[in-house]
Amino acid sequence: MKGAYYTGEYRNIFKELGYSEEEVNKKIESAYHTIFYGHMEDRIYNEVGDDMAYFEDTGNFDARTEGMSYGMMMCVQNDWKEEFDRLWKYSKTYMWMEDGYNSGYFAWSVQPDGTKNSYGPAPDGEEYYAMALFFASNRWGDGEGIYNYSKEARAILHECVHKGSNGKPGSPMWEPSNKLIKFVPNCDFTDPSYHLPHFYELFALWANEEDREFWKEAAKVSRDYLHLACHPVTGLAPEYAHYDGTPITKDNRHRYYSDSYRVAANIGMDFAWFGVDEEQRAIADRIQTFFCKTAKGKIDRVYEIDGTILDEMALHPVAIIATNAVASLAASSMDNIKECVDLFWETPLRKGNRRYYDNCLYLFALLSLSGRYRIWK
């Protein structure tokens, strides 16, 4: 199977299952409105002055590069240039670090007024920033200064690969010896949910020419890595793992918990866009089978990756439901696909303080399953 990058055709799982285009579009528009312009207790997008805005992690009362870059991706997919530029200007104004050990990276967490909570970066933010900026460049064209989107994206990726080389301070975000993304630059392990081979394939086309082969290889090794990190029976991945795929046991990071959920969605999206890794179908089938059979009725719990269901409630149960549904883009069992997608359809956006992470993954799921999460060339 060739993915949408080659065919230009994006699979619409909702349509395949009988949902009408009208009701799907209405659900997507409602989610965008709620997240960006809903009531204070529902939205996570907040404007600052005349030309900036931030996405708030409503459970931790801060702005994170994860959410800021997610918000930018949501905007470019919906042709919202003003909101995109507001989020990007806030990011460059308050989160980008001009000097110091981590210069050229973005502080992963700041207070709503822009005060940095940390001077450390998180690589999942950088990779989403770069991809959103490339899409913005291709969809809207480059502007001046920080709105020269493709130039900004290339600069981010250059730092990610080369920081710390030639005697300069700092550490790269990808481990040079194996081309795997790190959890943070100065560590020697990874987060399986950070692995986005479908992004790296595009970086291999649009990054600085001298780095394109690096990104091509990064896409391959990340796909191979996920084969190791995902459990051979359940398909579940730990939150953090060593470079050989074995889980990090410290602080319970070996479990299927908050970060882990994104792996199912990432596998679905990589298969939808490129369709080059047949093993992703098997992994998606294992994940959906686990939740449709073993964990049926208990999709709000914490799990060991071997499928043991723990007597502990998940922090982000809506995120589990959303990402299980996105795995349908790679899965092969229509019975499981229908069960996972129907459950997602029937699940509303989350309310309350913990809504940020769940609702970001919820909106991405709506876009992915409707064929509206697109590559902008």
Catalytic amino acids? 66, 259
Query: Can you tell me the distance from the alpha carbon of 54 to that of 48, in angstroms, rounded to the nearest whole number?
Result: 8
Q: Look at residue 377 and give its three-state secondary structure.
A: coil
Q: What's the Cα-to-Cα distance from 197 to each of 87, 200, 282, 307, rounded to whole Å?
A: 25, 5, 17, 26
Q: What's the Cα-to-Cα distance from 126 to each of 65, 194, 309, 314, rounded to whole Å?
A: 7, 10, 34, 27
In DSSP terms, 116 is beta-bridged to 110
Nearest Cα residue to 88 out of 27, 137, 22, 121: 137
Q: At residue 158, what is the residue type?
A: H
Query: Can you tell me the distance from the alpha carbon of 272 to that of 326, in angstroms, rounded to the nearest whole number?
Result: 10
In DSSP terms, 62 is beta-bridged to 57
Q: Are 333 and 284 in contact (CB under 8 A)?
A: no
Secondary structure letter of residue 42 according to DSSP: T
Segments of 158-201 assigned E as strands: 174-175, 180-181
Q: What's the Cα-to-Cα distance from 256 to each of 164, 187, 191, 313, 336, rounded to whole Å?
A: 33, 21, 12, 12, 20
Secondary structure letter of residue 239 according to DSSP: S
Q: At residue 252, what is the residue type?
A: N
Q: What residues contact 23, with CB distance under 8 A and at least 6 apart?
A: none
Q: Look at residue 122 and give its three-state secondary structure.
A: coil
